Amino acid sequence: MKVFIGVGHGGSDPGAVANGVKEKDLNLSIALACKDELKRHGVEVKLSRSKDENDTLSEEIKECNAFSPDLAVDIHNNAGGGDGAEAFYHYGGGKSKTLAENILAEIVKVGQNSRGAKIRKNSSGKDYYGFIRETSCPAVIVECAFVDNASDLKILATEGDRQKVGQAIAKGILKTMGVEIQGERLYRVQVGAYLLKSNAEEMKKKIKAVGFDAFIVKE
Ligand SMILES: [Zn+2]
């Protein structure tokens, strides 16, 4: 499994600038955390940039198509005074739409509100955004928060907050690929299952006697 992560803006292009932050820096923190979480699940990841450097959209698209990933996500933050996260998908829907919806569902779980998954077309009826139009795999653009809305920006206040959003994006990607998320489910160790409660109590005593905690669950 391969995933390409576009890291919006960079170098001489800061993206949105407001409230003492530059979009390019937020995008990079979020993308790096997203990459780590995907790698932890055995996914091969390529970032369009891993430091602050010029990274044009046309380069991003070229790199993405050369890598030939299963899915691609371009990470951005918004401007224009709105509130919440939104994601754009291919106007044809399909996996691109599922990916956008899954990413937003995970971002909502870390406390951000969602403006929804959307399409945007240009005057020729194709996707407005080049990253969605010109990449050859299902692709999504995610806008995590509004840089020019101080209260919305709180979701990205600390490096830890940015990592949480990055990990949320990764989970949305993993769910779209059908990968089980590690750390979300409990692995139980069972010793026995008995029809008679007295036998269950007896086993519980034996387990406790050797120093382990034990409890009985009725099914
Ligand atoms: Zn941007």
CATH number at residue 166: 3.40.630.40
User: What is the separation, in whole angstroms, between the first and last Cα of the chain?
Assistant: 39
pLDDT of residue 12: 97
Residues 117, 193, single domain; the answer is no
Residues 162, 195, single domain; the answer is no
Query: How many other CB atoms sit within 10 Å of the CB of residue 46?
Result: 17
- Rounded to the nearest angstrom, the distance between the alpha carbon of 35 and the centre of ligand 1 is 19
Residues 210, 166, single domain; the answer is no
Residues 134, 196, single domain; the answer is no
pLDDT of residue 105: 98
Percent of the chain, pLDDT > 90? Answer: 93
Mean pLDDT of 88-99: 98
* Domain assignment of residue 128, yes or no: yes
pLDDT of residue 189: 85
Of 170, 178, 149, the closest CA to residue 79 belongs to 149
Around ion ligand 1, which residues have CB less than 5 A away?
8, 15, 76
Residues 70, 94, single domain; the answer is yes
- Rounded to the nearest angstrom, the distance between the alpha carbon of 45 and the centre of ligand 1 is 21
Residues 168, 214, single domain; the answer is no
pLDDT of residue 186: 74
pLDDT of residue 185: 72
pLDDT of residue 184: 74
Residues 89, 169, single domain; the answer is yes
* Domain assignment of residue 183, yes or no: no
pLDDT of residue 187: 78
Residues 139, 219, single domain; the answer is no
- Rounded to the nearest angstrom, the distance between the alpha carbon of 77 and the centre of ligand 1 is 5
CA atoms within 13 A on the CB side of 210: 5
Query: How many other CB atoms sit within 10 Å of the CB of residue 157?
Result: 11
Residues 147, 67, single domain; the answer is yes
Residues 134, 114, single domain; the answer is yes
How far apart are alpha carbons 63 and 4 in whole angstroms? 9
Percent of the chain, pLDDT > 70? Answer: 100
pTM for the whole structure: 0.86
Average pLDDT, rounded, for the chain: 96
Residues 109, 194, single domain; the answer is no
- Rounded to the nearest angstrom, the distance between the alpha carbon of 54 and the centre of ligand 1 is 13
* Domain assignment of residue 34, yes or no: yes
- Rounded to the nearest angstrom, the distance between the alpha carbon of 66 and the centre of ligand 1 is 23
Residue linked to tokens 């979020």: 30
- Rounded to the nearest angstrom, the distance between the alpha carbon of 75 and the centre of ligand 1 is 8
SS3 (DSSP) at 116: strand
Mean pLDDT of 96-123: 98
- pLDDT > 80? residue 155: yes
* Domain assignment of residue 182, yes or no: no
* Domain assignment of residue 218, yes or no: yes
**How does residue 176 score in pLDDT terms, banded at 50, 70 and 90?**
very high
**How does residue 219 score in pLDDT terms, banded at 50, 70 and 90?**
confident
pLDDT of residue 159: 97
Domain that holds residue 213: 188-219
How far apart are alpha carbons 65 and 93 in whole angstroms? 20
**How does residue 41 score in pLDDT terms, banded at 50, 70 and 90?**
very high
* Domain assignment of residue 127, yes or no: yes
pLDDT of residue 29: 98
- Rounded to the nearest angstrom, the distance between the alpha carbon of 135 and the centre of ligand 1 is 17
pLDDT of residue 88: 98
* Domain assignment of residue 64, yes or no: yes
Residues 128, 199, single domain; the answer is no
The pLDDT tens digits of the residues spanning 182-195 come to 987 777 888 889 99
pLDDT of residue 169: 98
How many domains, the chain? 2
* Domain assignment of residue 149, yes or no: yes
pLDDT of residue 25: 98
Query: How many other CB atoms sit within 10 Å of the CB of residue 105?
Result: 15
CA atoms within 13 A on the CB side of 214: 18
Tokens of 141: 């653009």
pLDDT of residue 183: 84
- Rounded to the nearest angstrom, the distance between the alpha carbon of 16 and the centre of ligand 1 is 6
Mean pLDDT of 60-73: 98
